[in-house]
Amino acid sequence: MAHRKVALDVHRLTHERDSGRAVIDAPYTVMALRHVLRGVEMTRTHVKTEAARQLVSDALEAFDRAVPGGKHARDVIEHFDEYAMGVGNLQQPQVRNFRQRQPDDQLSEEFRHRLEWAGTGDERRPVYVAGPYRIDVLAAEDAAFRLICDTYEALLLDEGRPVPRGWAYEVQRGSLRCE
């Protein structure tokens, strides 16, 4: 369900030119990506075979490489009240006791979040910026979908019905031709 939200938001961002709606949807898209990760992490703890667990772990690592900073961006969005004051965990990590952190306008500005559009000409890509973290929303959706497909493959492997790695993604994205 979380990935469906991400995919729907990507469709809206890329096909509907309502910039007001895009600004509203984008932070929740990043949060939905985190829900995808949490579901996959839950799956990893419940599969029975080491091979399936390793496949899920590899898939999570691939997602992290494709969406660097995704967890931190979600933290900035989720804890917007702290980051708006400059007292978020990523802003003042050296001050472990939250109550000892002092509001900081400069840190607040450095960690503001917003939707930007990257690219030139006709190819514009939505990028959600949360402080120093830039999430290419199209790349993140594809990485989340690949992660879900890899997790499905891990479940099949766990049930003793292995398929080639990448098979589910290729079938679902229509890259394989059935002859």
Predicted structure pTM score: 0.87
Q: 70-114: per-residue pLDDT in tens?
A: 999 999 999 999 999 999 999 999 999 999 999 999 999 999 999
* % of the chain residues with pLDDT over 70: 95
Q: How far apart are CA 88 and CA 76, in angstroms?
A: 8
pLDDT score for 179? 44
Q: How far apart are CA 32 and CA 13, in angstroms?
A: 15
pLDDT score for 16? 76
Q: 32-81: per-residue pLDDT in tens?
A: 999 999 999 999 999 999 999 999 999 999 999 999 999 999 999 999 99
Closest by alpha carbon to 127, among 16, 2, 30, 42? 30
Closest by alpha carbon to 85, among 101, 105, 100, 110? 105
